[in-house]
Every structure is written in C-alpha cells, then in structure tokens.
C-alpha cells in the first residue's frame, strides 16, 4: 500500500541570508544552511523515497529489467520504474542510485524544487530572479559508489554562468556514508571542457586544458583530480534538514557509502538566474501546456522548459505542472510590480546618476 502523507504546512517566516553567509558562499564556493527544512518535511521525503525504492508509487507502472547491481558506477541513473517484483526489500533498494527530473512527473518533487525557504536563499545568492532547472533524487544505498570530481556547469551551462545547486540532506551525511567533499576556492577555476563527448567548458581561454574522466570516482582516471588537489578539500557533513548551496564552478565529489545499513539520501535542485540563457534540459513531452516553448527553433534556447521560481525575466519560462506557488503563476503586472523597486529608486534621483555630482575638470582640490 502506498503511503500518502499530507503535505506539512509551510513555514510562514522568510529565511533571511546573513552578511556572513553571503560572504562565506563567495569566499569558499559553498554554504551550508543548517535546519532549513523541518523534521516533518524531511520525514515526508524519506517516506516517499522508501515507497519509490520498493516500487509502491502509483506512477511506477513499469518494472526494470534485472541487472547486476554490483556494476553500478557513480553516474548510474534510473527512470521512474519499479524494481523486479520478486526481489527482497533490501535487494529492491539496491536497484536505485539516483533519478533525474522527477519534478516533471511527481508533485512532491516539484514542491521541494520550489520550496520557499530554499528559494529565499537562492534569491539572495544568485537572484533576485531565479529559474528552477533540475531535480535529482540521490538514494545511495549501503555499498554504492560515489561520484568523482566534477563541476556542475560542465553539465548544465548557463550564460551568464549563474548555476547554483541546493543539496537537501534527507539522511545525516558523514564520511562513512558518502557525504560531499568540496575543493574550497576552486569556484574561481574556469569550467574545463571535455576532450570528447558530452560536456561544456570555457573553450575560449587561450591555455584551457581539456579533460576526460569527469565524475569518474577513480581519481587516476579523472583529469580534474589534479586540479582539485591544488585546493584545500573539506568534508561537508550535514544533518537531515540541512541544505548545501554551491556554485556551478566549484569542484566537488562524494565517496562510496562504506556502511552496511545506512542510506545517504539527498534531494538536489539546480537553479540559475532567470535572466541567464540556457540550451540545456528541454522538456520534450509532446503538447506540454506548461512549457512556453521547449526549444526555440532559432537559438536552441530551452528557458521555456524551466520554471520561473522567483522574480521576473525577459526570457520565456514554464509554469509548474502541479500548481506549486511561485513567480511563474503571478500575472505579468504582479511580477513587474515586485521587481520595480530598483527602477523606482533610481527614478527618484534628480539626475538619474545615483545622486552623484558631475565632475568639474577645472576645479582645484581644497588640499
């Protein structure tokens, strides 16, 4: 039987990012906000993942083919399918490592992608205009591998580059069960392009090095390892309900879950400034009424496939399929009214020059 949980009432108070938190994000490339989600919210996600891994969700109409789960790698991903029915509960859980883009299929994933307090932080770090791009559900059962050094903007390019991840800890994460590691300071590195195959980078830099093995957990086969080794590498331990925010350039990784009985589940969203252009992640479902335009035929822009979470934009955007409150559901007049404070302030100044006086080249200084 599927467990149906009533969504918890959202917190009324807005999360206000402190100056110290803002500075920390800029200085080290990531920020951990402790206890951003409530215990009730984390329990809802946890119950949902357990139902998903056991194949109890009504949306899991299809079943996976049997496979050797010992061969899973750090980049293995599944679709929304149920594991083979004859397996034990433990064996079923081993069939999952991570699933992408479930906010386009499940209401719960859309709701946590657009979680108000997560968006509060993003609005301060990369906003005020925020576009919600991607969801990933990481399950990482005992014994599963981690993911090697990588930069998220390598996979999801935005122009200007404003990508930011929000990693919600569903379980306590530590060194034993595969918490994330960050190479602090590496947010100042360019994004390294691939030698071949999929990936994006700063190819216009004169001496940029092309890389291979990105995300490979074997350090000897991952060219980004030597770049990460230039920096101090820190373990980002997190308690359930903490959220780790990190930019698209910072080098990060996770190691294997070495425990015998602990999961390391995480719900991850990716976002960018809503005025950044992207050609990533087209919503190709036929006749989708929620997307403005999946792919622009001339520019190949896919902004119309992604949800306007906060603020406003001059670019197209999608609406949430399940009606989760966000900026995309506001009228153009309301979005414009909420974003006009800066223009109003400038307009109130007599000269329109931010209240600065024009310089007189003939004037002599008093001293």
Q: Choose among 340, 288, 290, 292: nearest CA to 312.
A: 340
Strand partners, 235: 181
Could you give the domains of the chain? Answer: 19-36+102-344 (2.60.120.620)
Q: What is the per-residue pLDDT across 243-282, written as a single tens digit (0 to 9) for each?
A: 999 999 999 999 999 999 999 999 999 999 999 999 999 9
Q: What is the mean pLDDT of residues 300-316?
A: 97
Q: What is the per-residue pLDDT across 148-161, written as a single tens digit (0 to 9) for each?
A: 999 999 999 999 99
CB 63 within 8 A of CB 85: yes
Element at 227 (helix H, strand E): helix 225-228
CB 261 within 8 A of CB 142: yes
Q: What is the per-residue pLDDT across 81-93, written as a single tens digit (0 to 9) for each?
A: 999 999 999 999 9
């Amino acid at each position: 039987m599927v467990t149906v949980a009533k969504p918890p009432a959202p917190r009324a108070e807005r999360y206000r990012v402190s100056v110290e938190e803002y500075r920390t994000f800029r200085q080290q490339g990531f920020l951990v906000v402790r206890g951003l989600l409530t215990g009730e919210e984390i329990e809802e996600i946890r119950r949902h993942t357990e139902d998903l891994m056991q194949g109890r969700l009504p949306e899991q109409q299809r079943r996976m083919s049997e496979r050797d789960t010992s061969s899973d790698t750090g980049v293995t991903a599944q679709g929304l399918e149920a594991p083979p029915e004859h397996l034990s509960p433990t064996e079923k859980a081993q069939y999952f490592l991570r699933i992408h883009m479930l906010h386009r299929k499940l209401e719960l994933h859309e709701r946590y992608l657009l979680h108000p307090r997560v968006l509060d932080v993003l609005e301060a770090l990369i906003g005020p205009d925020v576009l919600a791009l991607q969801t990933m559900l990481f399950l990482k059962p005992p014994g599963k591998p981690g993911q090697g050094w990588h930069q998220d903007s390598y996979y999801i390019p935005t122009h200007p580059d404003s990508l930011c991840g929000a990693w919600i800890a569903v379980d306590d994460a530590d060194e034993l069960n595969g918490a994330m590691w960050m190479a602090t300071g590496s947010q100042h590195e360019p994004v390294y392009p691939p030698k071949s195959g999929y990936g994006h980078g700063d190819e216009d830099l004169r001496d940029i090095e092309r890389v291979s093995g990105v995300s490979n957990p074997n350090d000897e086969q991952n060219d980004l390892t030597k770049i990460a080794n230039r920096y101090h590498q820190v373990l980002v331990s997190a308690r359930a309900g903490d959220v780790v925010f990190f930019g698209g350039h910072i080098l990060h990784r996770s190691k294997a879950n070495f425990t015998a009985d602990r999961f390391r589940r995480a719900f991850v969203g990716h976002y960018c400034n809503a005025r950044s252009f992207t050609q990533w992640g087209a919503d190709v479902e036929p006749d989708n009424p929620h997307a403005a335009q999946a792919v622009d035929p001339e520019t190949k822009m896919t902004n119309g496939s992604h949800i306007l979470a906060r603020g406003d934009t001059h670019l197209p955007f999608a609406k949430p399929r399940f009606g989760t409150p966000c900026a995309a559901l506001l009228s153009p007049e309301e979005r414009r009214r909420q974003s006009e404070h800066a223009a109003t302030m400038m307009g109130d100044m007599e000269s329109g020059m931010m209240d600065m006086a024009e310089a007189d080249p003939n004037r002599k200084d008093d001293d």
